[in-house]
Chain A
Amino acid sequence: MTLVKDELVPVVQAGAEYVFHVPTSSFYELDATTRDVLEAVERLDSVPDSQLSAAVSGSTGADETEVTEILSDLVKLRLLVPRDTKGSADTDPTPRGTGVRNLTLHVAHNCNLNCGYCYAEAGLYKGKATLMSVERAREYVDWLFDQADPDARELGVTFFGGEPLLNFPVVETTVRYAQERAQRDGKRVRFGITTNGTLITPVISDFLRDIRATVTISVDAKGKTNDRLRPYHSGRGSYDIVMDKIQPLLESGMCAARVTVTKVNLNVVETVETLLEAGFTEVGCSPVDAKNPAYDLDGKDYAELLEGFRVLVARYVDEAAEGRRYGFSNIGNILKAVHNGHNKEYPCGAGIQMVAGAPNGNMSLCHRFVGEDEYVLGSLEAGGLDEAKRKQMLDELALKERSDCSKCWARYICSGGCHHVNFLFNGDPQKTYLTHCDWLRAWYRTGLEAYAEILQRNPAFINQFIDPGWVCRN
């Protein structure tokens, strides 16, 4: 038998050496001798394991007994493996075949803003402007609770659009109905809403606060840059109006911002700083996927975006060293993935524990696939999800089916990327959109380095803010 180095990503941070083990997403700190041993094993490619200790000792100058012990530990941790098992993954179990726990309700297929990059074409999703009826929304809630696993203690409903607050009466009625149903079924239900913020009133603010909703405001930059990207249909800008309307929610500390990054607003450092100063608890940035060269980022833009992200990560790490949490949520999410050893067959819960419900009663893979007939997984009229179609789609979307990703060290973190981005650019959610990949690998590496640096400077931060048990108290 010949032992070989398994797929490892070396990371150096402030003079310390680390390796990230790709098949398990485990992360180790090594001393210099262990690093030398690993490198020697790679050089001594075909030495049988019975002669390996002596050969490595000869190659590195390290004591053979010591080398034997290190090799034994490396084998136990699967960092050295028999050649024919290299790359054998240990992915986290996917909760397939279980009930849906999160339902995204498209309560309004219409929007009062006219963002040029919108994948839903101003919220219409290839259809006519439609508001979901109260009866339809109740049917969805009943379906969610009826099909839920008995052991699912908490279910989630997210109100989405278009602009969901164009249909606030239905949002309000649906929340009350879901709360009653949850009480009857002995479950909890939590709510989220993604809104452009322009229609928020004091009454709506009080309501969202009362139901402890997770509120995500779409806002792309400060002032005129945001206005250029997020105008009303009349062309008028929305920034000042939004910031005025959401003030009570900002003061309550219950708003996160979602920034869509385009060619127009690449200065993410300024945007994140501005929005955090304005009172958002978290700001997350996501590159646009518009299939429109006026907005989509090219290689140079991705390099600039990464540079901006790294500045924000440095701030996050400095704050973490002082025991404070900086609200740049992109790095927070990566740190959680690194901490938990995120190693998944699917990039998200689409079709697994989450589906989206359209006003016409059709249920889709996720909110972004609403309006695409091929990705309808079922309907209220048909009594719910078509389980055969759901299974087939999930089988096809699994990472192991993607040859594009088979050599990438980040594949179990990214899991092939967003199904909808792949669909938008390649016409098929199974075909990985490779334009993102260099950027994503560089970003994940930044996450590994940040995790190592925080552990060096203030390890208590990880247990306090990154460990899964931590819950935001805002």
Chain B
Amino acid sequence: MSRIKPINTKAQKIAETVHRDVRGYAFSDCCASFAPGWEVGTGDNPDPCPWKHDLQLCWVTCYWMGQVPDTNSYGSWLDTCNNINDDWRNLCTIPDNG
């Protein structure tokens, strides 16, 4: 975005939002179909996230293109999520390095 420079606070906020690109990756829609969701987990079961299991299963096989990232461009996309309990937000966006 070198040709357009945001110069006030509002423009900078908008630019920061779009900078976190979600190309080919409608993960939030995907998540909604999985229940009960990681957030109902307890201390006894610290990694109950059904996403993680389903995500890794569907990563390769999923028929819906929107559910998976562009793995050619973002081969290491899951690296941002070392711990699903702490880092789950990172799954929903891909840094736009372009």
* A→B interface (CB under 8 Å): 18, 21, 24-31, 33-34, 70, 73-74, 76-79, 338-341, 343, 451-452, 455
B53 interface hit (Cβ, 8 Å) = no
- Chain B residue with minimal CB distance to A77? B14
Give 13 new A-B contacts, CB below 8 A, not counting A28-B7, A30-B5, A77-B4: A24-B11, A26-B14, A27-B8, A27-B10, A27-B11, A28-B4, A29-B5, A30-B3, A31-B3, A70-B3, A77-B18, A341-B10, A451-B8
Q: In the complex, what residues of B have CB within 8 A of residue A28's CB?
A: 4-7, 11
- Chain B residue with minimal CB distance to A35? B3
Q: Complex Cα distance A452/B8, Å?
A: 10
CB distance from A33 to the nearest CB of B (A): 6
- Chain B residue with minimal CB distance to A74? B4
B1 interface hit (Cβ, 8 Å) = yes
B15 interface hit (Cβ, 8 Å) = yes
Q: In the complex, what residues of B have CB within 8 A of residue A18's CB?
A: 7
Q: Complex Cα distance A341/B6, Å?
A: 11
* B→A interface (CB under 8 Å): 1, 3-11, 13-15, 18
Q: Given A77-B15, A78-B14, A26–B3 Cβ distance below 8 Å?
A: no
Q: B9 touches which one: A29, A31, A340 (CB < 8 A)? A: A340
- Chain A residue with minimal CB distance to B2? A31
**Can you spell out 20 A-B residue pairs with CB atoms less than 8 angstroms apart?**
A18-B7, A24-B10, A24-B14, A26-B11, A28-B4, A28-B11, A30-B3, A30-B4, A31-B4, A33-B3, A34-B4, A70-B4, A73-B1, A73-B3, A76-B1, A77-B14, A339-B9, A343-B10, A451-B8, A455-B7
Q: Complex Cα distance A63/B1, Å?
A: 16
Q: Complex Cα distance A96/B7, Å?
A: 30
Q: Given A24-B14, A73-B1, A77-B18, A452–B9 Cβ distance below 8 Å?
A: no
